[in-house]
Amino acid sequence: MTSQLLAARAAYVLRGNDLGTMTSAAPRLYPHMWSWDAAFVAVGLARLSVPRAILELDTLLGAQWGNGMIPHIVFNPDSTGYFPGPERWGCHLGVPGAPPYPATSGICQPPVHAIAMQRVVEASRRQGRSDRQAAGEFVDRAWRPLVAWHRWLATARDPQGRGRVVLHHGWESGMDNSPRWDGPYSRVVVGADLPPYQRRDTLVVTDASMRPSDREYDRYLWLIEEMRRVGYDDALVHERVSFAVEDVLVSALLAVACDVLADLGEERGQPAADVAELRAWARRCRAGVVESVDPVTGLARDRDVRTGEWLSTETVAGFAPLLCGGLPRARESALLEAFEGERWCGHPQLAAAVPPSTSPASGAFRPREYWRGPQWPVIAWLFHWSFARRGWAERAAVLREEGLRLVGAGDFAEYYDPLNGEPLGSMQQSWTAAAVLDWLC
């Protein structure tokens, strides 16, 4: 398929999934707005319409909680076919700080929104004066909400000041059933009073090998129950919820996002105290990620707060230091070699040389199962963007070329079998289309 046709199809997907003020993540399986999906969607929309990209982020920020948290789902009131929906979360029913409307979930997702804002600003500079003005005004308008979001992550979710953001649900990582969470999830004891439920994801994706198991879902929903029963209070959640893990990838993204936001704030003349605070959070998170690196494998590690255990898994999160920097040159070079080596992007059986979610050489590798092996175009985009930002132009170009090869059939799947390139999960996925648009336009 030609680049022009692929870009046209990607634009068609985004326009088709447009709900007016938000974009559904995917028309059948994910009919609502997801936090980090929305950020990537805005990156793609900026290639079509800067004002529409700004509206996407404005809608998300309009659902921000009073404590600064940006919720991982903003529910589309016209769709009731998703589970767990607003009733299961119960956040709109008087939870302090939660917006009564629109209904939201009670957890977060990775902080990639400042990156999206930067890309919108960059896109506006290639357009007319009105787009540039709109983007500048958006930065000014979104400044306080985004600083508050980063502050919440840096304080409420890093209460010990270690520089590693604590998550209380695997969904908060965006990598729901990654092998990263096998240990912490195994220690979640589901209560006998877990309210009954019926999954709906398996009605859309009928191949069970692509989705988390029912046993995993019990644990996912029990964690929601634990948070709901303490009113989503930050301190009580940190104290009582069974799952508590320091996530190195989210921490690396917070470090990057703080620096990106600080750069934008300096350009727009935002308060120097805010900029200094953002720089300090970036330094602390960068140091926290570097501290987590396994001296043997060179990969960054998550840490189970409940047991104190470092979690050594061969997942793409291990390359978090390549996103945020901070490693000594020799160790960084070794990590880059590993990223491009035969256990990862250079594995001889891969259909495209982009990072799989789990190493094909790992015993935990499952090529068709969600975050346990498949390749995600949006993750390839994230490393491509970071490599370009860090001055690794040739490496960035390879990720772009290989990412486009992965999605070249134009199905815009949620994820792909890394061994044969088969599209998996839901089709017409908005953030896949957005990544393609940004690569091509």
Pairwise CA distance, residues 382 & 375, whole Å:
13
Q: What secondary structure, in 3-state letters, does 159-228 show?
A: CCCCCCEEECCHHHHCCCCCHHHHHHHHCCCCCCCCCCCCCCHHHHCCCHHHCCCHHHHHHHHHHHHHHH
End-to-end CA distance of the chain: 16
**Angstrom distances, CA of residue 248 to CA of 305, 316, 347:** 13, 11, 24
Catalytic status, residue 218? no
Nearest to 335 by CA among 303, 388, 280, 292: 292
Catalytic status, residue 176? yes
Selecting among 176, 302, 314, 369, the annotated active-site residue is 176
Q: In the beta sheet, which residues pair with residue 302?
A: 311
Selecting among 226, 414, 417, 438, the annotated active-site residue is 414
Measured on CA atoms in the order 215, 373, 371, 186, is the torsion positive or negative? positive
Type of residue at 379: I
**Angstrom distances, CA of residue 278 to CA of 114, 116, 146, 173, 185:** 12, 17, 10, 21, 32
Q: Which residues are catalytic?
A: 176, 414
